[in-house]
Every structure is written in structure tokens, then in C-alpha cells.
């Protein structure tokens, strides 16, 4: 289970995050971004922000989906 906080993300915020310019081409080899890019660069900060936004979107999606699907432990347990 993730942290106990989430941020409601609007569609406009998601669209804005999609508009972020690509700063580097996608790497196709084993490339460890976290050790290759200094933490005080704008690129590092942009990638961290993007990763946090994606995480928050996934947490919110998980919450919304969990309301519509039973938890695996509760399937087939009708009062037994």
C-alpha cells in the first residue's frame, strides 16, 4: 500500500504534463538515469516531477477501480 496521501489530478493537468517537451531521446540500452544525471539539473527535476505525477495518477486510478472490483480475498466468501 502506498502513502496515505493523494492529489486529485484534473484532465487539464494531465494534458499539461503531456505537453512537456522531450529533453532526451528514449534510451534502448541498460541506462540508469538516476545515477547518470546530476540531481541539481533541470532534467532531473523534470523527470522526478513527471514520475510523481504518474504515481499519483496510478494511485487515484487504483482507488477508483477498487470501488468497482472486489478484493481477491473476498471473492467467493459469502458468509462462510
Mind listing the pLDDT tens digit for each residue in 13-69?
A: 665 655 555 555 555 556 676 678 888 999 999 999 999 999 999 999 999 998 888
The reply to whether the predicted model has a pTM over 0.75 is no
**What's the distance, CA 50 to chain centroid?**
8
pLDDT of 69 reads 84
Read off the pLDDT band of 71 (50, 70, 90): confident
Do 56 and 6 contact (CB within 8 A), yes or no?
yes
Half-sphere exposure of 31 (CA within 13 A, CB side): 9
Domain boundaries defined on the chain: 11-20+28-69
Amino acid at each position: 500500500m502506498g502513502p496515505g496521501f493523494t492529489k486529485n489530478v484534473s484532465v487539464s493537468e494531465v494534458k499539461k504534463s503531456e505537453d512537456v517537451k522531450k529533453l532526451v531521446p528514449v534510451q534502448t540500452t541498460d541506462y540508469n538515469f538516476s545515477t547518470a544525471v546530476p540531481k541539481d539539473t533541470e532534467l532531473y527535476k523534470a523527470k522526478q516531477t513527471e514520475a510523481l505525477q504518474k504515481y499519483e495518477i496510478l494511485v487515484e486510478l487504483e482507488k477508483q477501480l477498487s470501488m468497482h472490483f472486489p478484493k481477491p480475498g473476498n471473492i467467493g466468501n459469502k458468509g462462510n
